[in-house]
Amino acid sequence: MGFTWICHALDGTDLNIAEAHTEFPTQADAEAWMGESWSSLITSGADSVSLLEGDRVVYGPMGLSPQ
């Protein structure tokens, strides 16, 4: 069971952003990818993300805005 991201719009609805549906073998791999990709997810309309392991939410929603 791998790790995936779910992107959320500002109103909390889930977005279907294809690049975020990549399955990563470890949490560290998923987090490294997010560190490199968060700005492109914002451009695609995401406001926040949640990390999943299978169907279990590891954490989130986590805001993407740079502060």
Question: Rounded to an integer, what distance in angstroms lies between the CA atom of residue 59 and that of residue 39?
Answer: 19
Q: What pLDDT shows up at residue 67?
A: 63
**Token pair belonging to 8:** 């959320």
Question: Rounded to an integer, what distance in angstroms lies between the CA atom of residue 37 and that of residue 40?
Answer: 6
Question: Rounded to an integer, what distance in angstroms lies between the CA atom of residue 9 and that of residue 7?
Answer: 7
- The predicted-structure confidence for 23-65, as pLDDT tens digits, reads as follows 999 999 999 999 999 999 999 999 999 999 999 999 999 999 8
Q: What pLDDT shows up at residue 18?
A: 81
Q: What pLDDT shows up at residue 48?
A: 96
pLDDT over 80 (residue 2): yes
Question: Rounded to an integer, what distance in angstroms lies between the CA atom of residue 34 and that of residue 29?
Answer: 9
